[in-house]
Amino acid sequence: MGNLMREYWFPALPSREFPVNDGDVKRMRLLGENLVMFRDSEGRVGALAEACPHRGASMYFGRNEECGLRCPYHGWKFDVTGKCVDMPTEPEGSNFINKVRAIAYPCRDVNHMVWIYMGKRAEPPQFPTFEVNTLPPESVSQPNVMMEEANWMQNMEGDLDSAHLDWVHKRLHKDGPKPPFGVNGFYNPDPRPPKLDVVATDYGAYYSAMREMPDGTDWHRVNQFIMPFHTMITVGPTVSFRSFVPIDDHHAMLITQTANPEGPIPQAVSDNMVNAFDDVGGYIKRTHDPRSYFMTAANKTNDYMLDRAVQKDLMYNGIPFIMNLPDRAMTELMCDANDQPLYDRTQEHLGTTDVYVIAVRKQLLRAAKALRDKGELPANVSKPELGRVRMGTFVLERGIDWKQAVAPRLNPDNGFPVAADLPLIVD
């Protein structure tokens, strides 16, 4: 699966981590590799292996100056491509400098997000054409980032499961509690299970979770999964693009970007993406370990600031409903027998509302095996435009063929606004 992921560009760190040229070096850990990232004198962002190729000192302590990062130990200097541009400990005339390279991965800084390509090709694949990448920068929000202490897939499955809306996000009364509890809370006095209908695609899959409304309409919630680890779920009339970026097998960053195809994103919306967790203590202080980055103060050590009084009277679940905090509580505490946050799926019992989880697992397993056994890649590696799609929610007349009805609106190039029909129970 890691090899499959390395065939794609994916988001690494928000651009705001690198506010100035030659600024502070940041550590990052992606796909189990420890990296350092920096913005050089010309504004280019680079990602190098943290260990210096000379004798392994941490490049985090390096000097970021004159278009390169200089190791603090003996002064070897590398540019964003990994080329050694200075080797002051070797005698004049030595060509050893041409024989040593740092492990380096190409980065692209697009619409407030730094993307990385960690594959082996000399020429990276085409950059993805998701709307968050192609709209003007003012139409795309700052990214929201939340560290999750569990396997990326385990976390992502929360986005493949519409049935939980009626439970973990449920308000107990129509007039719900105010922030931080109950923001966007879901109020359905008569929760019947949604009917799921999955469509496998060459870039991943999408599905409708359909709920029959009391007024005789069908409410279809249509979400996307795009290989290797992106989802699109409907959160109001904007494009919501979410990436579950693996730090290692037991940690992932949920990165959420919002885009407005109709015009600029209001500044308050963008600011809220940065400060979303302020009402529950924001983020903890970063340590030397990148797994502490974007770690919210509400986390498993304090039961995500669960409020039993709120749970009794206001919300089905008393965890503050801020971004995916309650979802995270559900997924990251799924553990194996050794208490490792990678759930042993042989222990679970999948039911009718889990068909999308099953379908996405199958798609990913099929893709990983095709790469391992036949060297075949999913179609959206060479044609990223295949994943240029949208999600949406649609109120349709009862019984209408939803696939046909919504198809034109899942293509962002057809000129439609984002579909976000909301039945009365969700307000």
Residues that bind ligand FES (CB under 6 A): 52, 54-55, 57, 71, 73-74, 76
Q: Check if the beta carbon of residue 211 is closer than 8 Å to that of residue 341.
A: no
| Shortest reach from residue 272's CB to Fe ion, in Å | 18
Q: Which does 121 bind (CB under 5 to 8 A by kind): ligand FES, Fe ion, none?
A: none
Contact 157, 343 (CB under 8 A): no
For the chain, the distance separating the N- and C-terminal CA atoms, rounded to the nearest angstrom, is 39
> Looking up tokens 């190098």, which residue turns up?
48
327 binds, among Fe ion, ligand FES, none (CB under 5 to 8 A by kind): Fe ion
Q: Which residue is nearest to Fe ion (CB)?
A: 327
* Closest to Fe ion by CB, 87 or 163: 163
Nearer to Fe ion, 26 or 169 (CB): 169
Residue 47 near residue 35 (C-beta atoms within 8 A):
yes
Q: Both tokens of residue 387?
A: 């994943």
Q: Is 332 in the site for Fe ion (CB under 5 A)?
A: no
Residue 78 or 130: the one with the smaller Cβ distance to ligand FES is 78
Distance CA 317, CA 165 (A): 11
Alpha carbon distance 60, 52 (integer Å): 10
**For residues 51 and 364, which CB has a smaller minimum distance to ligand FES in the complex?**
51
- Joined tokens for residue 308: 């039993």
Q: Cα 121–126–132 angle (5° rounding)?
A: 130
Tell me the residue type at 270: S
Q: From the list ligand FES, Fe ion, none, pick the one residue 55 interacts with, judged by a Cβ distance below 5 to 8 Å according to partner type.
A: ligand FES
Residue 160 CA, chain-centre distance (Å), reads 14
Cβ-Cβ contacts under 8 Å for 246 (sequence gap 6 or more): 2, 5, 30, 31, 32, 151, 152, 229, 252
Q: Which is nearer to ligand FES, 87 or 145 (CB)?
A: 87
Choose among Fe ion, ligand FES, none what residue 57 binds, the Cβ cut-off being 5 to 8 Å by kind.
ligand FES
Is residue 343 within 8 A of residue 206, CB to CB? The reply is no
**Contact partner at residue 74 from Fe ion, ligand FES, none, CB < 5 to 8 Å by partner kind:** ligand FES
Cβ count near 86 (within 10 Å): 16
Should residue 327 be labelled a site residue for Fe ion when binding is judged by CB under 5 A?
Answer: yes
Stretch that binds Fe ion, among 121-129, 199-207, 260-268, 320-328 (CB under 5 A): 320-328
CB of 72 to ligand FES, least distance (A): 7
Binding piece for Fe ion, criterion CB under 5 A, among 146-154, 283-291, 299-307, 321-329: 321-329
How far out from the chain centre does Cα 412 lie?
A: 20
Residue nearer to ligand FES on the CB measure, 73 or 316? 73
Query: Shortest gap between Cβ of 331 and Fe ion (angstroms)?
Result: 10
* Contact string 385-424 vs Fe ion (x = CB under 5 A): ----------------------------------------
Q: What, of Fe ion, ligand FES, none, does residue 73 touch, CB below 5 to 8 Å by kind?
A: ligand FES
Identify the H or E element spanning 406: helix 402-406
**248-266 burial, b for 16+ CB within 10 Å, e for fewer?**
bbbbbbbbbbbbbbeeebe
The binder of 396, among Fe ion, ligand FES, none, by C-beta within 5 to 8 A per type, is none
Q: Least distance (Å) from ligand FES to the CB of residue 43?
A: 25
Of these partners, Fe ion, ligand FES, none, which one is at the site of residue 71 (CB under 5 to 8 Å by kind)? ligand FES
User: Does position 166 bind Fe ion by CB under 5 A?
Assistant: no
Interatomic CA distance for residues 206 and 1, integer angstroms: 20
Contact range with Fe ion by CB under 5 A, out of 69-77, 219-227, 233-241, 327-335:
327-335
66 within 8 A of 83, measured Cβ to Cβ: no
Nearest to ligand FES of 55, 174 (CB atom): 55
The size of the chain, in residues, is 427
- Summarize as ranges the residues that interact with Fe ion (CB under 5 A): 327
